[in-house]
Amino acid sequence: MHKLSVIVPVFNEAEAIPELFERLVRSCSEYAPFEIVAIDDGSTDGSYESLADQRKLYPDAEIMIIRFRSNSGKSDALDAGFRAAKGNLIATIDADLQNPPEEISKLISALGSHALSAGKRIKREDTVFKRFASRFANFVRRKLLMDDASDTACGLKVFRKEALRELPMFKGMHRFFPALLRMKGFSVIEVEVQDAFRRYGNSKYGTFSRGIPGFFDMLAVYWMRKRKLTYEIKSHD
């Protein structure tokens, strides 16, 4: 049984992949046996070929590559990774290296009895406008969903596998992991992590392209929260 599975959604991140895998293999070696599950989300820049090169470069590491026929989005990639993962602990990390792989161990150490250890970025390297938009979105989400998570957009997270089985899967789910888990009665902890400057490529999603779908996704989660079943069994004769 693997102790750790690292899920890496990839969409046009060919430049970042060699450094990402070198740092992942090195920093996760203490959790051996571990695996890396990379999901190529319809990349067109040679990301798949770069992922295949990493598997050859690190023959002693267990690296699985899932290749989508076309770009489907981050939630789809995460779901495919969750289903394929064999580890008891499931870590997620973005491929662009803004999430330092070395921070995964910090999240695992803090997990304890919680279902999710979620990264909370400090000293954000985004533009002033993106930081403002993120704070505003987080404020609205906390008020509407009664969710005190402060940075759900951070890609660095560590889950217990058994908790993931209880999550509803839908497009946009990755923005609401803390709220969805709390709805199921699980506990969540936030851990401060570093946020690195993006050195490779460009952001794949703009603030507005994420904001409008994210708002409607939030309304769907709000509906689920208000309509969840709340019965308690007094006896069962």
pLDDT tens digit at each of 237 positions of the chain: 568 999 999 999 999 999 999 999 999 999 989 999 999 999 999 999 999 999 999 998 999 999 999 999 999 999 999 999 999 999 999 999 999 999 999 999 999 999 999 999 887 655 565 555 556 566 665 666 667 667 778 999 999 999 998 888 878 888 888 888 988 889 999 999 998 877 776 665 444 445 566 776 776 666 666 666 565 766 666
3-class secondary structure, 72: coil
Q: Compute the half-sphere exposure of residue 62: CA atoms within 13 Å on the CB side of its CA.
A: 17
DSSP-assigned letter for residue 3: E
Indicate the helix (H) or strand (E) that contains 129: helix 128-145
CB atoms within 10 A of CB 84: 14
Phi, psi values for residue 171, rounded to 5°: -65, 130
Rounded Cα distance, 81 and 86, in Å:
10
Rounded Cα distance, 160 and 112, in Å:
10
Rounded Cα distance, 32 and 28, in Å:
7
